[in-house]
């Protein structure tokens, strides 16, 4: 089980760019801020049409969700998955590409979220 305190190290191991950036210790101790940083990184990859990296980020988020404790799962749902609407392009082709890259578990959680919100 991955705890909130292990997520920063896990992200650094999987995405070396996270270890190269100077970050405050306080950021690394706040799971929501750390996942927001990861979400922003994923959004940037989407904007650059770097679909290999986008796929890697989505898979990494799925692994964190699958292996994470309840705090990690909640943070992923409330930060990363919550941001999916902002990921989606207005362009239908790009939207289909992104949807195809999102792991089924995360996409199902996203659909539940938008269903609850009435969107």
> Element (H or E) spanning 110, and its range?
helix 104-117
Q: Where does the pLDDT of residue 63 fall: very low under 50, low under 70, confident under 90, or very high at 90 and above?
A: very high
Domain that residue 71 falls in: 7-117
Answer yes or no: is 104 within a domain: yes
Answer yes or no: is 12 within a domain: yes
Taking residues 101-107, report their average pLDDT.
Answer: 96
Answer yes or no: is 1 within a domain: no
Q: Where does the pLDDT of residue 1 fall: very low under 50, low under 70, confident under 90, or very high at 90 and above?
A: very high
Contacts of 13 by beta carbon, 8 Å cutoff, 6+ apart:
none
More confident residue, 16 or 110: 110
Closest C-alpha among 46, 83, 79, 62 to residue 10: 62
Answer yes or no: is 56 within a domain: yes
Which residues does residue 2 pair with via DSSP β-bridges, in sequence order? 68
pLDDT, tens digit (0-9, with 9 covering 90-100), for 84-99: 988 887 888 988 999 9
| Pairwise CA distance, residues 72 & 2, whole Å | 8
Answer yes or no: is 2 within a domain: no
Question: What are the backbone dihedrals phi and psi of residue 6, each rounded to the nearest 5 degrees, phi first?
Answer: -95, -15
Per-residue tokens: 52: 């290999």
Q: Where does the pLDDT of residue 26 fall: very low under 50, low under 70, confident under 90, or very high at 90 and above?
A: very low
Q: Diameter of the chain by CA atoms?
A: 40
Predicted local distance difference test score (pLDDT) of residue 89: 78
| Pairwise CA distance, residues 34 & 1, whole Å | 18
**Number of domains making up the chain:** 1
More confident residue, 115 or 102: 102
Answer yes or no: is 54 within a domain: yes
Answer yes or no: is 94 within a domain: yes
Taking residues 17-25, report their average pLDDT.
Answer: 57
């Amino acid at each position: 089980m991955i705890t909130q305190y292990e997520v920063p190290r896990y992200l650094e191991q999987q995405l070396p760019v996270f270890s190269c950036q100077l970050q405050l210790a306080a950021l690394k101790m706040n799971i929501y801020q750390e996942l927001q940083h990861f979400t922003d990184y994923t959004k940037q990859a989407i904007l650059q049409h770097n679909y290999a990296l986008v796929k890697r980020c989505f898979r990494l988020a799925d692994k964190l969700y699958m292996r994470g404790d309840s705090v990690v799962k909640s943070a992923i749902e409330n930060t990363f998955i919550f941001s999916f609407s902002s990921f989606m392009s207005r362009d239908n082709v790009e939207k289909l590409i992104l949807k195809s890259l999102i792991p089924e578990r995360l996409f199902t959680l996203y659909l539940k979220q938008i269903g609850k919100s009435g969107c």
